[in-house]
Structure 1
Amino acid sequence: MRRRRPTIIDVAERAGVSKSTAARALANGESVLQETRDRVLAAARAVGYERNHLAVGMRSGRSGMLGLVIPDIANPFWADVARGAQDRAAKADVSLLVFSSDWDPGKEESHLRALRRARVDGAIVNPVSDALDDLNRFGLPFVLIGSSAERFADVSSVGSDISQAVELGLDHLVAKGHQAPVLIVGPRSRLARTRFLNAVQRHTIERDVDPAQMVIEDGEYTLEGGRQAMLRVLDRPRVGHISVFAANDMMAIGAMMAVRERGLRCPDDVSILGFDGIPAGAFTSPGLTTIAKPGRDIGARAVESLFDDIEGRPEHGRIYMPCRLVDRGSLADLLRQPRQLAG
């Protein structure tokens, strides 16, 4: 026989209070004494009672759910963003529905429709589509994340400070004797690629280095994309040590695979700097030196911004979150131990 689902009446009876008092206590009503609230909460745990969030949402106009649409759930950086958003939402007793668009505008639109049908209170989106109207027409409060969000200056958004991060990486490379690294970047269709290259150009010019000296290889933001780009770099005529600054850690790890595949060694023959700070970088051999983005903090801050938007207090601005250097073993110190690669 199926066990009956506990009700608010069961909680009230066990706590020795009225149904209305039990309801106010569970809703954190201010008119309930703390001792009474504690007794009601203990009774709810004892009988296994859970609030009917759908019914509560119908009365309050809120569902207690948020949506998150990220471009690639398989990329550990985006998984970290999702974890930060989930943890912050959970502190407010709010659930998070996570979707991966796979950089596909059609999937992004489908996911937003699903979120609207689920009556979420708002959504956090790394926008794939260039048209803000595509988001506005879904009628949801939303906050944007990632590099793509900078296209929409009038919308609240949260992301890494790419300019600060690139400067941090280039300064570290220069400090080790790497003046003009090869740049392994994403596809030309991605705004993140443009932002990365613009930051590189700005900071190299500030150091009186001609950015035209730098070799640029495009690829997908994946292990295989980095591997193929690095193989093309190694196929070029070269003399001396090769230095690489990859636009994300997945590409950097793929580049390390290509170096090993060609019988070379990192950092003896090739130095590689990554960008993201995913956990896998700590387990490569050698460990990947990288510029770590604050993935979890971005997710958490985006949820806080979305709460503000839902409450009618939108920030309507860009929040830039600083990155940090994680120094491991993938960069040679050419100033102390200059090496030459015959080629």
Structure 2
Amino acid sequence: MPTPRNKQPTIIDIAEVAGVSKSTVARALSGSPHIGDKTRERVLNAVRALGYERNHLAHSLRSGKTGLIGLVIPDIANPFWAEVARGAQDAAAASGASLLIFSSDWDPEREAHHLRALRQARVDGAIVNPVADNVDRLGRFGLPVVLIGSSAERFPELSSVGSDIAQGVALGLDHLAGLGHHRPALLVGSANRLARVRFMRVVHDYCIGHDIDPATLVIEEGSYTVESGRAAMLRLLQRDPKAARCVFAANDLMALGALLAVREAGLRCPDDVSILGFDGIPAAAFSDPGLTTIEKPARTIGVEGMRLLKETIEGELEHRRVLLDCSLTSRGSLARNGESGPARLMAVGSN
């Protein structure tokens, strides 16, 4: 008999409809192997007919697991982090877990608030791109944690997964050099961001390895947004049009902003200015021209983060740092440079 519309079906209702005991229903719902296939099917048919939903709070009290995973990323509006979240969500769903997604907006206080909420929600574990140094508090509370992104290197005692930034930046610089762009301008983030430090560290090492004086590098600064990339590119075009002939931006949003600035200045990409991005966000395929970019494996980072976290929760993970290769996605924003000259990298000076 169906339950009243204002009453949630219970395990007793399932047992009555299926013609079995409450303990048999419990075994069927928990996936126990000690139940016949026909009996399990009768129980599941009753579950579907009555619209039964398990009381996850009661189940978590019995099992010690909530089936909830926390994900704290710095900017859900950035398409790169949205792709990471999608990968983590897909992997969580495949394992029967649900994902709680928080955006810290690069704010340490907001991140701390989210971390407290995760502890209070008794999540089974968390994947975090840390923007502050308080993420280790989760470990002290016994919460399994896996880190993602560049900031993870600040916490070598925790397992993490991210892009191989050194490989990706070198791949971009090599590709530009192969096209004859020996003097690309660099658009990078603000000085207080670890991502900018890592990007410039790789450029510095690349210069040393190619007999280039790193002291010749000057930086044009943005904030990893479209508008900051547009403003940086306009400054660059005004102060040094020659250096602006080729730009390597530290993320795709700034590269797309640079593309807007080129158009605003009455120039054309790639005829007048070549632009290379970094991230591989989906929007880069729809610009005009399409943005050539060094693609970081965003969705795979989310999937791998979930895999490492699952192993951590189950006590099977040996601590490790996983770095995933970046790849070149070639579209229409780079042209071959016919200018000959010494292999020298140049960036535009900041104000």
Mapped contact 1:113–1:138 kept (Cα < 8 A): no
1:121 to 114, 120, 124: 124
Q: 1:37 to 1:336 in 2, by over 3 A?
A: farther
Greater Cα offset, 232-241 or 309-318 = 232-241
User: Which residue in the other structure is 2:50 paired with?
Assistant: 47
- 1:27-58 per-residue CA deviation (whole Å, 9 max, x = no partner) reads 11121223332332222112111111111000
Partner SS, residue 275 of structure 2: strand
Q: C-alpha separation between the residues in 2 aligned to 1:194 and 1:135? A: 26
1:112 to 107, 110, 115: 115
2:20 to 12, 17, 27: 17
Identity, in percent, stands at 63
How big is the shift at 1:279? 0.7
Amino acid at match of 1:84: G
Q: C-alpha separation between the residues in 2 aligned to 1:269 and 1:120? A: 53
Greater Cα offset, 236-245 or 53-62 = 236-245
Q: C-alpha separation between the residues in 2 aligned to 1:224 and 1:331? A: 21
* Residue-pair matches, total: 338
Greater Cα offset, 249-258 or 204-213 = 204-213
How big is the shift at 1:22? 1.4
User: Which residue in the other structure is 1:341 paired with?
Assistant: none
User: Which residue in the other structure is 1:262 paired with?
Assistant: 265
Q: C-alpha separation between the residues in 2 aligned to 1:69 and 1:329? A: 34
Partner SS, residue 41 of structure 1: helix
- 1:68-116 per-residue CA deviation (whole Å, 9 max, x = no partner) reads 1100011000011111111111111111111110101000001111111
1:70 to 62, 68, 73: 73
- 1:298-341 per-residue CA deviation (whole Å, 9 max, x = no partner) reads 11111111112112233322110111111000001125999xxx
User: Which residue in the other structure is 2:197 paired with?
Assistant: 194
1:246 lines up with 2:212 in the alignment? no
User: Which residue in the other structure is 1:153 paired with?
Assistant: 156
RMSD of equivalent CA atoms? 2.0
Gap runs ≥5 in structure 1: 339-343
User: Which residue in the other structure is 2:346 paired with?
Assistant: none
- 1:120-149 per-residue CA deviation (whole Å, 9 max, x = no partner) reads 111111111135544444542211110000
How big is the shift at 1:16? 2.8
2:106 to 100, 103, 106: 103
User: Which residue in the other structure is 1:327 paired with?
Assistant: 330
Greater Cα offset, 185-194 or 39-48 = 39-48
Q: 1:149 to 1:240 in 2, by over 3 A?
A: closer
Partner SS, residue 312 of structure 1: coil
Q: C-alpha separation between the residues in 2 aligned to 1:240 and 1:317? A: 41
Matches within 5 A, 1:139-150: 139-150=142-153
Mapped contact 1:112–1:138 kept (Cα < 8 A): no
TM-score by length of 1: 0.93
How big is the shift at 1:206? 2.2
Partner SS, residue 130 of structure 1: coil
Partner SS, residue 17 of structure 1: coil
Partner SS, residue 285 of structure 1: coil
Q: 1:202 to 1:267 in 2, by over 3 A?
A: same
User: Which residue in the other structure is 2:348 paired with?
Assistant: none
Partner SS, residue 245 of structure 1: strand
User: Which residue in the other structure is 2:87 paired with?
Assistant: 84
Greater Cα offset, 231-240 or 142-151 = 231-240
Mapped contact 1:294–1:323 kept (Cα < 8 A): yes
Greater Cα offset, 157-166 or 36-45 = 36-45
Q: C-alpha separation between the residues in 2 aligned to 1:201 and 1:336? A: 24
1:310 lines up with 2:313 in the alignment? yes
